[in-house]
Structure 1
């Protein structure tokens, strides 16, 4: 995953407040191939993740801590799968960006990415995140890993076709 559009014009926030504003930014960017993804974090992971963000530079997390505190629902859309993510000093990392973690998790737990490079089963994703956190293999960058649910949020055209 890569950041393609900032959520605000000054580039301070990588997380859009809602799917409508993300869709507007996608349209205004006028670039082919951009998609809006909804990201969900399990409510039981929010306290530990919030504490981790506060310790690692919460101000760099943009509006995400407040949205997590409100426990907003994941936008409606097609479930793509789960990605293991962790926070470090204002940056988000995935298990694929820190060399060898996908292999290490696969050897230890049998969990491997599937379609789109994502884990397709939530229980497997949670087990992999728990193992990765306990293993401390993300050190010194990431100490806490969580399974983030990724959802393809339909754009205005797709919503109009389905109505």
Structure 2
């Protein structure tokens, strides 16, 4: 089990996913050369959008039958144990909940706590919220500029992640106290990356990482 670097408690594995970091460039957002996030709004997961896996083997085997872009990597999402309940409650209340995430995090079940696979490295922290089957990021909810100004937090220029748990907890607490974001329970989470290329079906694959433009504020989108 990967433990938090702070004394606040353990980290629980939510699940694994495969994705390709993208450049982020947009108004009201940080500039990130290789944005890395579990948010569906800012980063597409492979081999199909929104796919989560219970084990590293499942993730790697699922990619064997598809064309995998250069730069794709395996990631894990970790959630502090004391922030899991709000995340799970939102999943249970949704009609499109994620069975993989629930299987790992719902402590009402009798299954064992799953340990994170060896060999990964913690990249940093982000703040997420679950809504209608999607993970939203604080970065795409018009919170970034206010957070920098009011909380003094900052993301790194490479991944767009916060440096530590304390900063992520502050952002999540602050976002949950606001009334102008997506109606979600915001929670801090850490990302782990394995620096091993993902094998896919033989054939041409993307060689350039696309630039991700800022999405419209959630209030302006038509669902």
* Band of TM-score, shorter chain: 0.7 to 0.9
1:36 corresponding residue in structure 2 = 74
Measure how far apart 1:156 and its partner are: 7.4
For structure 2, list consecutive stretches of 5 or more residues without a partner in the other structure.
Answer: 1-36, 38-42, 107-111, 199-223
Question: What's the CA shift string for 1:14-35, capped at 9, x where partnerless?
Answer: 2111122212334443422211
Asked if residue 111 in structure 1 is aligned to residue 111 in structure 2, the reply is no
Q: C-alpha root-mean-square deviation of aligned residues, in Å?
A: 2.3
Tell whether the 8 Å contact from 1:82 to 1:147 is kept in structure 2 after alignment: yes
**2:83 aligned residue (9, 22, 45):** 45
1:132 corresponding residue in structure 2 = 175
| Mapping 1:16-35, distance limit 5 Å | 16-31=53-68, 32-35=70-73
Asked if residue 142 in structure 1 is aligned to residue 183 in structure 2, the reply is yes
Q: Which has the higher contact order (CA 8 A, sep 6+)?
A: 2
Tell whether the 8 Å contact from 2:71 to 2:197 is kept in structure 1 after alignment: no
Q: Distance in 2 between matches of 1:95 and 1:83?
A: 8
Tell whether the 8 Å contact from 1:26 to 1:36 is kept in structure 2 after alignment: no
Q: Distance in 1 between matches of 2:116 and 2:174?
A: 25
For structure 1, list consecutive stretches of 5 or more residues without a partner in the other structure.
Answer: 158-163
**1:82 aligned residue (122, 125, 141):** 125
Tell whether the 8 Å contact from 2:127 to 2:188 is kept in structure 1 after alignment: yes
